[in-house]
Amino acid sequence: MKVEMLATTCDKSDCPTIYKTDRGTILVQGETPTGHGLDLPAHESLVEIPIELIQKAFGDSARA
């Protein structure tokens, strides 16, 4: 899989980041939230990122 960074919140590799892949998908790097009360399948997980990161990656089309 080839990955291209779209947006990040800092210059290090340990910050929330959004990537685009050559498979037509998006990868999201962020904090793993707890206490959300959701029942997720074993093969899925959640990450939490700032809404500003979505806006930075996708511009006006990502208004909250």
| Interstrand relation of 3-8 and 26-29 (parallel, antiparallel or unpaired) | unpaired
Q: Which residues, including other chains, have CB under 8 Å from residue 12's CB and lie 6 or more apart?
A: none
* pLDDT in the model for residue 17: 94
SS3 26: strand
* pLDDT in the model for residue 4: 95
Whether pLDDT at 63 is above 90: no
For residue 24, the one-letter residue type is G
Cβ atoms of 19 and 29 closer than 8 Å: yes
Per-residue model confidence as pLDDT tens digits over 29-62: 999 999 999 999 999 999 999 999 999 998 866 5
Q: Helix, strand, coil % (nearest 5) of the chain?
A: 20, 25, 55
Give the residues across from 26 on adjacent strands.
20
* pLDDT in the model for residue 38: 96
Per-residue model confidence as pLDDT tens digits over 1-36: 999 999 999 888 789 999 999 999 999 999 999 999
